[in-house]
Structure 1
């Protein structure tokens, strides 16, 4: 190994799946810090792990296939504030492990049949599934889980890492990289990861096969004040490198999630030709940490912030957010003095921003949760 969020509300919807600081790279296929569990007898017996908290117990899944040596230990959450989410999460984790177990049982049985038929020695396949509860919720309610699945056939290990990050609240919410590092998370993390790869370039693929940047659904887990960005085996490096992990120190969440506002003085907005109040697009959204890109040829503007995406077209009453169906707002974007203006409803109804106008006509734009 080479050395190289959370005082505000999380905003992601419930789902299953981390700036400056120290960056470490781990190229091992399995973490050495997985929770150890007591042995269990009988299929599906639940026992308390030695190193896990009361939030999690362990469940062993067993195999009757003689040509598969299976050691499968999965976590079972208990006592979460959102019991519905807890049940769903436990079902998902067990379902994934059961499918992996069945897949390897089938593969081992077929290989044994082929070995007998062709007269060669059959060596049992192996399947190891382990977990680590890397954050138990004591750090401002963030729960982070890492599950590693490693199967081996003919001395050829296959490794997969699954991660789950959520808040332990009455309504559990997914925690994403944007929540931890802010809307600029791709550039922040990409810079750290590229620097680490450059220091050990021989361990990684180059060019188009190599690292191309983090994405909204990037796997990660949180542990000891760091977010570990996880890449699957063979995704950015040869198999000998294992499953690369890049640890990046978490920033102060007060800085990441501080209130962001945009002010529009009464002199900067007007009533448009369709009778709607029109506001300047780029200057407002850039104050809100959105990226706004204008395409003069197509007369369109692309609007992005983290995983959020929208687009508007000049003189076209059609507004959408992500993959949602376009909506009409009763007014089209207009060009005035070289600047694009949109109806105020685009900010409130499409981008879901909070809009307040005072008696003097000044408009304040902020995030809806502020």
Structure 2
């Protein structure tokens, strides 16, 4: 296996443009005689010596295979402009070691298949390995560096794809960036709502039940690009191979206060029911916690206390009486019920009492959000 390091075409183009810009700015606004004198003083051979350019944040390294039955197209990133050089060296080592490991694996599999093909007298087509990267955020706007590396190998069967992501701050002591850093401590409910909504709109492309999406993981892969976080799932993790590696884009909070703000609460069609009074009954806790409400069960009173900031309410089992804050209680035509260990309330409690925005699509899925969202 051979390695070759080089600067990317885009880096060269930008560097050339930057050099031209520096020379133009240096000369503008100065008398021609002064410019000529500066040039003579700067260089003994009559050429202007341009100021040193800052090194690009990332260059590329290519890895090549010596196995004739493997067609390898591998380009990996090499960080060279990070403020934390120790972190930089460690990260470069990790990325390169992963690539070499993948290359060795596919070389071994290609050689074994070629030997088997020769033994049995059938045609052998070369295996393929493609590794490429994208620096999706260079840290210029918010200090966050985000990197996506795609590894795709093709052998006798369908392509095998893996996505690796790296997110960190570019500062003297680099720090790993997590989804909690971007969306707050309640990020699971925020992201789960987005992802469940997207899956429900295109359910045939995803697994259902226990094999389907169960919620974001603390170590969930993601990358940041264009003001959005792209939540990444590996092949076959929540969908069949035909779906590939699913990604779900979620807009980053515009301001600090939005981190804890609600997005949407999703109640799938199978999670609500029509009660004996003809009312749509929805699970209280799961519906409201997705919107960052606190819901606490009081077993002694057989009641659930609900709060979000200055907003508060309480409901009691088997009592058709609902209120918000100091407003007078109202009847909604159905009392809260306990079912399979969960408290259900009429959908009107969310819309008419808590003043939440409620909608239901043709498939029965209910979407709840804060008014104005």
The bucket for the TM-score relative to the shorter chain is: 0.5 to 0.7
Q: CA deviation at 1:215?
A: 1.2
Q: Secondary structure at the match of 1:127?
A: strand
Q: CA deviation at 1:233?
A: 0.5
Q: Secondary structure at the match of 1:44?
A: strand
Provide the C-alpha distance between the structure 2 equivalents of 1:294 and 1:64, rounded to a whole number of angstroms: 65
Runs of 4+ in 1 over 6 A off after TM superposition: 289-296
Partner of 2:223: 221
Provide the C-alpha distance between the structure 2 equivalents of 1:51 and 1:255, rounded to a whole number of angstroms: 38
Aligned CA distance change for structure 1 residues 168 and 114 (closer, same or farther; 3 Å): same
Q: What is the correspondence of 1:1-370 to structure 2 with a 5 Å cutoff?
A: 43-51=2-10, 54-255=56-257
> Taking structure 2 as the reference length, what is the TM-score of the superposition?
0.58
Aligned CA distance change for structure 1 residues 108 and 291 (closer, same or farther; 3 Å): farther
Q: Secondary structure at the match of 1:73?
A: strand
Provide the C-alpha distance between the structure 2 equivalents of 1:155 and 1:215, rounded to a whole number of angstroms: 29
Asked if 1 retains the 8 angstrom alpha-carbon contact of 2:146 and 2:165, the reply is: yes
Provide the C-alpha distance between the structure 2 equivalents of 1:295 and 1:160, rounded to a whole number of angstroms: 46
> Considering only CA atoms, is the larger Rg found in Structure 1 or Structure 2?
2
Q: Secondary structure at the match of 1:133?
A: strand
Partner of 1:363: none
Q: RMSD over aligned Cα, in angstroms?
A: 2.5
Provide the C-alpha distance between the structure 1 equivalents of 2:132 and 2:255, rounded to a whole number of angstroms: 31
Provide the C-alpha distance between the structure 1 equivalents of 2:79 and 2:120, rounded to a whole number of angstroms: 46
Asked if 2 retains the 8 angstrom alpha-carbon contact of 1:221 and 1:227, the reply is: yes
Q: CA deviation at 1:50?
A: 2.7
Of structures 1 and 2, the one scoring higher in RCO (CA 8 A, sep 6+) is 1
Matched positions, count: 227
Q: CA deviation at 1:293?
A: 8.2
Aligned CA distance change for structure 1 residues 97 and 295 (closer, same or farther; 3 Å): farther
> Taking structure 1 as the reference length, what is the TM-score of the superposition?
0.58
Asked if 1 retains the 8 angstrom alpha-carbon contact of 2:253 and 2:259, the reply is: no
Provide the C-alpha distance between the structure 2 equivalents of 1:120 and 1:294, rounded to a whole number of angstroms: 68
- Where does the alignment leave 5 or more consecutive residues of structure 2 unmatched? 15-55, 261-291, 300-373
Provide the C-alpha distance between the structure 2 equivalents of 1:103 and 1:45, rounded to a whole number of angstroms: 20
